[in-house]
Structure 1
């Protein structure tokens, strides 16, 4: 029998060139390699002042996704710490602290929120609304809709109630320039939809909400909210709202105190819909109830006027057949 050939020694890997551009090892890229990313991600990175060469990608072939950019920014521009193979005890003591520098868009959002609270004397008004009739109508419309029509959630109904209520109190659909002392009341209702995105809270705008039926409203809310979340929204789609809805969906809680989107003078905040036992016509019944939390600029909107506005929304939602009758 022939002897087995002797193993061939593998050559040691060549040392990197001294003039190679240093790239963080955890990105998995070679020096000089262009990072993979979509145009939307590249645009966001440019706006945030982030060099993508230092951002690790979690997508196919190391592609940098929006979430990767968000994570990098949240860490203040540092790479994730390497993890050890051992699993820490459930009751192990934690040590140290982490500092995160708030930069870019997240910082702008924080500054805008602080400015709104500083400049606007808020008054918050909360009312409970029986949403049983809306939910029954919504279920019927979803069961009988055409194939090309979207499923309806509750937001188009709330949006329509706001539009109709503003007809009697158009001043609430305004911008207030407190430095010039000028109130601009708008005829069209450009409805802001506060949306949680990977970059933080944004307010995409449904323009001319007064001219949309429930299905068109649902489609436009989904379109502008989706564009805000994936970073493709245009500048004009993120500005120019005249009144805003802020909804936490199923996480909506019992009540909250929404902050007005300056320079608007009102914001409407629906909370979650939940079944509650209530007294109706002298009988204890289970109804689908929702608290509506709304804030107003007290310099422009008196408490009485705020209450009248919310009560109008309540009456419309508790009698949803009236929403599109006029």
Structure 2
């Protein structure tokens, strides 16, 4: 038997060190060629480190959260053959994630025999308090494993970084469920004294650093405006009824993108990037709209490029394509960078008011809150209207308060009189 030492590869772009984000193997595991061993994080991307050999893991070179130099020992694997020690730098497979707050889910690969689908698990372990529509952190392999076992993943407590659900957690969930199957219902009200510590590492650390950096460097101020979206919602419903089957359904987002494009013609200072070190503001003619999208591990911002040249349906199709790519971890680096202004929305959960954090080096972010029906006075009559707030933030170093208010009011006028979105 021999030992194959895998060193931290040179990922390129002049990077001298990277952060070890997560191990997908442990000492004693048998691995196969091309199996993912670890995830590492650079300033620009999450990177898979696959195994170049078959063998058994005998030593790990670092702990999650540790910053490792390129060329340092990452992992040692026992392989068949001569007893001499062999070294190599594992090939790095870049999963082109952006710098936080644009985030990509790490993909876990674990060899396992194909399991026949099983009925829903009868015995359940201690449940985790998650909303019914909340997606816990887990790799595609773990999600498939849970499906085969008949387990609802949202009920499983994750032991991985940031609460990620691992294969071991699924087995523990089943085992706990079997041991607790006869526990009295009153156990749900028992006192709890457990604690859990979660390391802030990998992409979550990048998110924290970027959010802190944005709030420390930019002089944030927010402005909230109420908008009557009754007319635009009626137009949207009409277009979906007439063209939805052939062109696809429209959400409110493509109308908002169109409103941004038209309003920016009179407020080009909002479609800009500010280099605070060089003290240079760059205003751009192209409108590249970042659309904040929630993924399993955090916020990603795929970019609708050249929104100024897109129709409603073109924007809708691109938003849908990019959102799916981001959630599935398949968005490229180009698709996740280069925005000039950001649109953020929590959809039906959008609340009444929010205070979005700027996506530096941009100077404006437009936040969309939920639509609610309220009684309003229109021409002296109380009528029911669909109302929505825009909660937007700006960099006060670059954008004056009056200009920000006028910009959002311009968007309001366009949405309340939707024909003006298309009048040239």
- TM-score under structure 2 normalisation? 0.63
Report what 2:389 is aligned to: 291
Q: How does 1:16-31 map onto structure 2 within 5 Å?
A: 31=29
Whether contact under 8 Å (2:244, 2:250) holds in the other structure is: no
CA distance 1:51–1:292, change in 2 (3 Å): closer
1: CA distance, partners of 2:273 / 2:146: 48
1: CA distance, partners of 2:305 / 2:326: 15
1: CA distance, partners of 2:362 / 2:406: 18
Q: How does 1:44-83 map onto structure 2 within 5 Å?
A: 45-46=48-49, 52-53=109-110, 57-59=142-144, 72-75=160-163, 79-80=168-169, 83=176
Q: Give, in angstroms, the shift of residue 148 of structure 1.
A: 3.4
Q: Give, in angstroms, the shift of residue 290 of structure 1.
A: 0.1
Question: Which secondary structure state, in structure 2, belongs to the residue aligned with residue 257 of structure 1?
Answer: coil
Whether contact under 8 Å (1:276, 1:287) holds in the other structure is: yes
The reply on whether 1:154 has 2:289 as its aligned counterpart is no
Q: How does 1:258-273 map onto structure 2 within 5 Å?
A: 258-273=356-371
Question: Which secondary structure state, in structure 1, belongs to the residue aligned with residue 30 of structure 2?
Answer: coil
Report what 1:7 is aligned to: none
1: CA distance, partners of 2:389 / 2:146: 47
Whether contact under 8 Å (1:49, 1:104) holds in the other structure is: no
CA distance 1:115–1:37, change in 2 (3 Å): same
Report what 1:257 is aligned to: 355
Report what 1:15 is aligned to: none
Where is the helix percentage greater, Structure 1 or Structure 2? 1
Report what 1:238 is aligned to: 336
Where is the strand percentage greater, Structure 1 or Structure 2? 2
Q: Give, in angstroms, the shift of residue 125 of structure 1.
A: 0.3
Report what 1:97 is aligned to: 195
Report what 1:24 is aligned to: none
Q: How big is the alpha-carbon RMSD for the aligned residues of Structure 1 and Structure 2? A: 3.2
Aligned length: 293
Q: Give, in angstroms, the shift of residue 199 of structure 1.
A: 2.2
CA distance 1:75–1:35, change in 2 (3 Å): farther
Whether contact under 8 Å (2:364, 2:395) holds in the other structure is: yes
**Aligned residue among 307, 317, 320 for 1:219:** 317
Report what 1:20 is aligned to: none
Question: Which secondary structure state, in structure 2, belongs to the residue aligned with residue 159 of structure 1?
Answer: helix
Whether contact under 8 Å (1:36, 1:62) holds in the other structure is: no
Question: Which secondary structure state, in structure 2, belongs to the residue aligned with residue 124 of structure 1?
Answer: strand
The 10-residue stretch of structure 1 (108-117 or 210-219) with the greater mean CA deviation from structure 2: 108-117
CA distance 1:281–1:204, change in 2 (3 Å): same
Question: Which secondary structure state, in structure 2, belongs to the residue aligned with residue 123 of structure 1?
Answer: strand
CA distance 1:240–1:99, change in 2 (3 Å): same
2: CA distance, partners of 1:77 / 1:61: 10
Moved over 4 A (4+): 33-38, 41-56, 60-63, 76-79
Report what 1:171 is aligned to: 269
Larger radius of gyration: 1
Q: How does 1:105-184 map onto structure 2 within 5 Å?
A: 105-145=203-243, 147-184=245-282
Report what 1:32 is aligned to: 30
Whether contact under 8 Å (2:142, 2:165) holds in the other structure is: no
Report what 1:320 is aligned to: 418
Whether contact under 8 Å (1:75, 1:101) holds in the other structure is: no
2: CA distance, partners of 1:301 / 1:190: 19
**Structure 1 residues 20-57: Cα deviation after superposition (integer angstroms, max 9, x where no partner):** xxxxxxx9xx952559989xx99765469997459883
Unpaired runs of 5+ residues, structure 1, are 1-26
CA distance 1:75–1:288, change in 2 (3 Å): closer
Question: Which secondary structure state, in structure 2, belongs to the residue aligned with residue 286 of structure 1?
Answer: strand
The reply on whether 1:197 has 2:291 as its aligned counterpart is no
2: CA distance, partners of 1:203 / 1:148: 28
